[in-house]
Structure 1
Amino acid sequence: MELVQYFLIKDENKLPVRRADIVKNVLKEYKNVFQEIMKRTSHTFEKVYGFKVVEIDAKNHIYILINQLKPAEGAPERISNPNTGLLLVILSVVFMKGGVVREASVWNTLKMMQVDPRENHRVFGDVKKLVTDDFVRQRYLEYTKIPHTEPLEHEFRWGQRAEVEVSKLDMLEFLGQLHGKDPQHWSQQYKEATNQASPGSSQPGSSQPGSSQPGSSQPGSSQR
């Protein structure tokens, strides 16, 4: 199926897929049967590939693929490449700081790992571009301007993809192992993590593919 191939190509770079692009590049004159084709595509991904098609932005109809295979025990997700490891470090910093953190704090953390955003890294290449451009376009991070700052400052939040792909409870348990602490030591973060893990909790991207239910989305004008 052409739409399955389209999703897979986009997923190679972890890029979200917009309904408008699906109609323009794949369905074309068959746009009136979008709902039915999306259902068939979702079924194919679940049964054949072990992926789930998730709509992370119901207002703008933006979809991603989620790997439904369970991650290895004790790790927030399989670290398949160095970029994923770097991303998880940044997500953990944002999570432990209450959900939002200034850019300078992230850069200081990376410098402690011998990763300087001002220099070209032998593994990550252009670190600043990777973090503020690639991870943002992939919807793992939000990178927004802080109003009324001079010089201009930015802050990071978890992006829509991170909210549905990354288990905060797994991440907290992983950090607990690293620091020799029980996850409940961080009471506020533990409460947030268990709320995410509970079946009845409301999470971004919980709507089904093709649904028309209204959803909240962050303003795109402040993102790069």
Structure 2
Amino acid sequence: MDPPKKSQNVNVLDNTQSQSKAGDLEGTPVPIANAGEVVAAASTSGDVSVRGMLGSSQSSQRASYHPTVMGFTAGVPSVEGSHNRSRAVASAVFPTQEAINRKVVSLVHFLLSKYRSKQIVTKAEMLAEITRAYELSYQVIFTKASDCMWLLFGIDVIELYPLVHSYFFVPALGITYDGMQHGVPGIPKTGLVIIVLCIIFLHDNCVSEEELWRLLNNIGLYAGRDHFMYGEPRKLITEHFVQEGYLECRLVPGSLPPSHEFLWGPRARAETTKMKVWIFFASIVRQHPRSNPFRYAEALIEELLRS
């Protein structure tokens, strides 16, 4: 079973990965690390910064171009004018990475609004959103934006009618909860549910509260501290995710002081599988699912038993 064909252009936090069972997620690239700027930009209005997101390069030099002068002197084309026109044409045909990233942010914002209103979206609407000037870069922009929806929000953008290129949105991996009513209103939380399920699976299906927060701290989530996308993550994870049945939180017997551990809840086991979660994780860390034979075999056995 091959990983889903998602683009690998979304920046993630790259660190050394461990194959040990206790450290499978140590330093693991996760979708809400560097690409979090996309979420901030997509969930707020006004001017935004795209530095460091989606693999953006250093700010490129913009072509010097004036529509009225055109580099001509007394009607005679100059060498400088010719170079300026060439740079202007190149800039129009091949927009800078920064310009593309800004259009990705704009498109993510637009796709989220469509998801909130439960509407399909067409290619024509997306082209209108990013403007026709970026038509030649549409596929790159659309791919990055759909990757952000999938990796950051846990929302899959699925083509509905290929002839007219229309798309609809569903929570990823079969999960039916998007969490938009919890935490920061209007922002899907399916991606965080999937991340926590990944962590639990990679820790032999049960992770201590201390270890869970240690790993979540690495991606900017701290208990008791508001997050721009999730709100207060402790309440979201230990209350709402548990109440919704995606997590089970239980007291560790004999622990002093009392400590808790997390397992998959009944709704998670009913709606998704270890294989789906494992493939999602493998796509994030840019590995084939079989790169860890132990985890792949565990997920495959469960898949066979469920069929």
Say what the alpha-carbon RMSD is for the aligned residues.
2.3
Deviation at 1:185, TM superposition (A): 2.2
Q: Give 3-state SS (helix, strand or coil) of 2:263's partner.
A: strand
Matched, 1:130 2:236: yes
* Match in the other structure for 2:173: 76
Q: Which has the higher strand share?
A: 1
* Match in the other structure for 1:108: 214
Which residue identity lines up with residue 96 of structure 1 in the other structure? Answer: L
From 256, 261, 273, the equivalent of 1:150 is: 256
Any residues of structure 2 matched to 1:173-184 within 5 Å, and which? 173-184=279-290
Deviation at 1:187, TM superposition (A): 2.1
CA offsets, 1:20-60, max 9 Å, x none?
xxxxxxxxxxxxxxxxxxxxxxxxxxxxxxxxxxxxxxxxx
**Paired residues of 1:98 and 1:189 also in contact (CA < 8 A):** no
From 84, 92, 98, the equivalent of 2:204 is: 98
CA separation in 2, counterparts of 1:158 and 1:112? Answer: 22
Q: Give 3-state SS (helix, strand or coil) of 1:121's partner.
A: coil
CA separation in 2, counterparts of 1:129 and 1:155? Answer: 15
CA separation in 1, counterparts of 2:278 and 2:237? Answer: 22
**Paired residues of 1:100 and 1:156 also in contact (CA < 8 A):** yes
CA offsets, 1:53-111, max 9 Å, x none?
xxxxxxxxxxxxxxxxxx669x6357955411111111000001110010111111211
Q: Give 3-state SS (helix, strand or coil) of 2:173's partner.
A: coil
**Paired residues of 2:197 and 2:277 also in contact (CA < 8 A):** no
**Paired residues of 1:141 and 1:158 also in contact (CA < 8 A):** yes
**Paired residues of 1:76 and 1:168 also in contact (CA < 8 A):** no
From 187, 193, 213, the equivalent of 1:87 is: 193
- TM-score, normalising length: structure 1: 0.52
Matched, 1:194 2:300: yes
Matched, 1:167 2:273: yes
Which residue identity lines up with residue 260 of structure 2 in the other structure? Answer: H
Deviation at 1:150, TM superposition (A): 1.4
**Paired residues of 2:209 and 2:259 also in contact (CA < 8 A):** yes
**Paired residues of 2:250 and 2:260 also in contact (CA < 8 A):** yes
Deviation at 1:122, TM superposition (A): 2.6
* Match in the other structure for 2:182: none
CA separation in 2, counterparts of 1:164 and 1:152? Answer: 30
Deviation at 1:202, TM superposition (A): 5.0
Which residue identity lines up with residue 76 of structure 1 in the other structure? Answer: L
CA separation in 1, counterparts of 2:294 and 2:188? Answer: 29
Which residue identity lines up with residue 284 of structure 2 in the other structure? Answer: L
- TM-score, normalising length: structure 2: 0.39
Which residue identity lines up with residue 179 of structure 1 in the other structure? Answer: V
CA separation in 2, counterparts of 1:202 and 1:176? Answer: 21
Aligned length: 130
CA separation in 2, counterparts of 1:175 and 1:146? Answer: 27
Q: Give 3-state SS (helix, strand or coil) of 1:125's partner.
A: coil
Which residue identity lines up with residue 134 of structure 1 in the other structure? Answer: H
Q: Give 3-state SS (helix, strand or coil) of 1:120's partner.
A: coil
Which structure 1 residue ranges, 4+ long, deviate > 3 Å from structure 2?
75-82
**Paired residues of 1:139 and 1:160 also in contact (CA < 8 A):** yes
CA offsets, 1:101-124, max 9 Å, x none?
101111112111111112122322
* Match in the other structure for 1:141: 247
CA separation in 1, counterparts of 2:226 and 2:285? Answer: 30
